[in-house]
Amino acid sequence: MRDPGSDVLVVGAGVAGGACAAMLAQAGLRVALIEERPIGVATDPTPEWVTPATLECLRTAEVDLSSVLGPPLSGVTFHSADLTQQIESLQADPPAYCVDYGALAAEVARQAAGLGAHVLTGCRATSVELSEDAVTVVTNKEGPLRGRFLVWATGAEASTNSNGAKAGCVVTVQRPLTAVSGDRSMHWVLGLPGERTLGCWWFDGSGLMMRLQGRGDKVGVCRELDELTERAASVRMIPCDVMGVRGKGVVRTVAAPLALEFDSHVGKNTLTIGEAGGFIASSSGDGIYPGVWSARLAVDTLLCAVGSRHTQDELQGFDTLWRSTMGEYLRPPDTDTPFLLPIIFSNRRMADRMAGALWRGENV
């Protein structure tokens, strides 16, 4: 077999793809990270949060994200759909930190390059050729790139388009505030109508973030988010004049199908990770930690495959590996049943367990 050029080609430099490239490079493999868009170029803010488990997973690959972390969150406050009931669950340690997704992905890619990954930006994969012992990615810029293995980390939109499925979208609106809020809780609204409908808000020190994930199209989800914002403002859970403040909205596609609905994440010399593989926590809609976790497991699988005579057999183990370790985290908690929601609002212990499901994927 002639030299393939790289041990692994990673397509997509979001957080999952960048993390995968960083971990592979840190392990001593030759890695090319291929990204269609420029990395590190200023874009509209994309507010997210990142958990300590994510930071620890990346820290094992010598990736330190302290420079891009925003204020810590103190816990979670749960609200009923009509906002008449609420209960708070405080955490001894910060359960998450505010972060901008674009800055986070850029920093992970920068540190992947520092660990030895070859980062190619403005480079679109136009076609892929798979053979028994190598993969070739044809691009619009660099020409054919060859590697032994390929990792797809191209995000939710690529997954949704290729499968012809649509799970909906997430709309986040960021509104600046004249007065800094001391509220450091993540506010989650439970029992909203519709399957996989999640609503929340939080303050990041400079503004208010309102978010709704829903099954509908962009227009419908935006309308539902406006209604939730108006309800929260009317009962002064958020500043009552917030509707008069023009906000910046960010819309992203929700992966479909979700990871547990995939037949397999393994192809010939290929693995699929991150939101491209539907790795999203059903309890919170978080794709960052599941994406990084799936990258970690993919790296473990690839390290075994590189040294094996039966590479495809080793790759097939990825499906078993992630299902046995991540399955419970990704599975939705039973929060839609009528009997559970009243218990959460009347029992702090149950609220704490629900918070554990939200932040850490624990069973309710």
Domains of the chain by residue range: 6-71+95-164+256-330, 169-251
Q: What does the alpha-carbon distance between residue 175 and residue 310 come to, in Å, rounded to a whole number?
A: 54
Question: What is the model's pLDDT at position 43?
Answer: 63
Q: What is the model's pLDDT at position 197?
A: 83
Counting Cα atoms < 13 Å in the Cβ hemisphere of 229 gives 25
pLDDT of residue 336: 55
pLDDT along the chain (364 residues), means of 10: 76 96 97 89 78 93 92 94 94 90 94 96 92 91 90 78 62 81 89 83 89 86 92 91 77 81 96 95 89 98 94 97 93 66 90 87 74
Closest CA to 194 of 164, 172, 225: 225
Neighbour-count burial of 81, counting CB atoms closer than 10 A to its CB (0-12 exposed, 13-18 middle, 19+ buried):
middle
CATH code of domain 6-71+95-164+256-330: 3.50.50.60
Question: How many Cα atoms are found within 13 Å in the side-chain-facing hemisphere of 201?
Answer: 24
Residue 256 has a pLDDT of: 66
Question: What is the predicted pLDDT for the residue at 180?
Answer: 65
Q: Using CA atoms, how far apart are residues 287 and 276, in angstroms rounded to an integer?
A: 10
Structure tokens at 283: 């309890």
- Name the one residue in this structure whose structure tokens are 């925003």: 70
- Kindly report the number of other CB atoms within 10 A of residue 185's CB atom: 18
pLDDT at 333: 65
Using alpha carbons, select from 251, 242, 233 the residue that is nearest to residue 208: 242
Give Cα 145 distance to the centre of its chain.
Answer: 27
Residue listed under structure tokens 């679109």: 124
DSSP state of 108: H
